Amino acid sequence: MKKLDDSLLKLNIEKAARDDFDNNKVFGSAYCVIQDGKVIYKKCFGNTSVDSSEAVTGSTIFRLASMTKPVTAMAALILVDRGLLSLSDKVSEYLPEFRDVRITKITESKSLIDLGKAQNDITVCNLLTHTSGIGSDPLKEETMTDKDKKSITDSVNFYSRIGLDFEPGTKQQYSGVGAFNVLAKIIETVAGDNYQCFLQKEIFEPCGMLNTTFVPDKEQWRSMIAMHNKVDEKNSVVETEEDKIFADYPCTNYLGGAGLVSTLDDYIKFATMLLNNGKTSAKRIISEKTFKLLHTPFVSEEIMPGSERWGLGVRVIVNEDYKNLPVGAFGWSGAFGTHFWVDPTNKIAAVFMKNSLFDGGAGNESARNFEKAVNDSLVIA
């Protein structure tokens, strides 16, 4: 185990933060790094909008986008831990509309070509590892109507009708919304509760996450950072639709892959729970044995070569070709620039928050600079 040098960490992160501001990649951001149960660094920078004097704080609300996925993965594993769900369960056992689902291809003119019935059943594990064939084709996503986006049920019906993009289990292709929405519907079906309430009871309350939700109240909307963009190399604000968190989905559609908002203070509690193998200071959420499934690489090297592979709702570093994190580290990013990881080797949890329409998602420059800042601050204990 290596230790973080406090002064070096401060220097490195603040250099990365200055670079973001100098290059107009943010007008507000937030960082937190914990090691071995102790906050080593926590600081917020800038304001909540380009022309606002309201400073970003640990309670500023950010749109998580795909950093919702690890929360959904934990929700599924809680049910697995209780024997109510299995990773090998067929999706059609819970959602009959996926029986005899077809594999389809969509043309540029939005015509759908039927390629025949899927030969493999979609499993819960496929949903968690981007190997289901659901929701990986952006052209199909563009055919969704407002009615299809209204609720989880409506979205699930759309994905069963539009068909799969490939034979389940034969390849991996990122599913931004669809697969995790199907999973959220399964969780609702098994738990007998709506998805927001299930997360509140099983994850948010035990972790002490007071401002993490699909449906912000009036105060939380007021505390939400504006959506950043850069036009002609200058900061600008993108007006977002009222009561919508991700794209044009209403927030009452509990998007299991992209719909949550949260704060730096809340998400570091979630990341710390992950670092502690599924345990908070108040209770154990999940057994350590089941929790380990989260960061076990489930996708084979054959269909996902490289330095990282999918666990359950997280990416896992699998070899030393990835320079900024050690083998075994795991985490995720969001389309609007949020990023986190857990490093079990060095007992580190780290969270970065920004909301921007560019430089987001996996591999975003701000996030990678943060990883490097932390990695370069590790010294031999």
221-259, pLDDT tens digit by residue? 999 999 999 999 999 999 998 899 999 999 999 999 999
pLDDT exceeds 90 at position 163: yes
CA distance readout (Å), 202 to 127, 209, 271, 332? 21, 11, 15, 21
Q: pLDDT category, 7, cuts 50, 70, 90?
A: very high
Q: What is the pLDDT of residues 170-216, one digit of tens each?
A: 999 999 999 999 999 999 999 999 999 999 999 999 999 999 999 99
- Provide the β-strand partners of residue 32: 42, 351
Q: What three-state secondary structure class fits 360?
A: coil
Instruction: List Cβ neighbours of 252 (8 Å cut-off, separation of 6 or more).
Output: 150, 151, 214, 215
How many C-beta neighbours within 10 Å does residue 333 have? 24
Q: What is the C-alpha to C-alpha distance for residues 61 and 1, in angstroms, rounded to an integer?
A: 33
Percent of the chain with pLDDT over 70: 100
Helix %, strand %, coil % for the chain, to 5? 30, 20, 45
What is the pLDDT, as a whole number, of residue 381?
Answer: 79
pLDDT at res. 101: 98
Q: Indicate the residue type of 60.
A: T
What is the mean predicted confidence (pLDDT) over 288-317?
A: 98
Give me the amino acid identity at 287.
S
Confidence of residue 361 (pLDDT cuts 50, 70, 90): confident
Predicted local distance difference test score (pLDDT) of residue 242: 84
Sheet order of strands, 330-333 included? 38-46, 28-35, 348-353, 339-343, 330-333, 315-317, 308-310
Q: How confident is the model at residue 241, as a pLDDT?
A: 87
pLDDT band at 130 (very low <50, low <70, confident <90, very high): very high
Q: Please state, in angstroms and rounded to a whole number, the distance separating the CA atoms of residues 23 and 50.
A: 14
Q: What class does CATH assign to 2-60+195-380?
A: alpha beta
pLDDT above 90 (res 362)? no
Q: Which amino acid is at 211?
A: N
Q: For residue 330, which of 318, 217, 320 has the smallest C-alpha distance?
A: 318
3-state secondary structure of 184: helix
- Residue 131, pLDDT > 90, answer yes
Of 1, 33, 42, residue with least CA distance to 371: 33
Model confidence at 363: pLDDT above 90 = no
pLDDT one-digit tens code per residue, 91-125: 999 999 999 999 999 999 999 999 999 999 999 99
Q: Which of 77, 350, 63 is nearest to 213 (CA)?
A: 63
User: What is the torsion angle, in degrees rounded to the nearest 10, for the CA atoms of residue 165, residue 166, residue 171 and residue 173?
Assistant: 0
Question: From the CB of residue 293, how many other CB atoms can be counted at a distance below 10 Å?
Answer: 19
Judge whether residue 25 has pLDDT over 90: yes
Helices 69-81 and 264-275 pack at an angle, to 10 degrees, of 40
User: Average pLDDT of the chain?
Assistant: 97
Domain ranges of the chain: 2-60+195-380, 77-191
User: What percentage of residues in the chain have a pLDDT greater than 90?
Assistant: 97
Fold topology of 77-191: Methane Monooxygenase Hydroxylase; Chain G, domain 1 (1.20.58)
The mean pLDDT of 65-89, rounded to a whole number, is 98
Residue 325 has pLDDT above 90, yes or no: yes
pLDDT of residue 72: 98
Nearest to 351 by CA among 273, 285, 265, 278: 265
**Residue labelled with tokens 């931004």:** 176
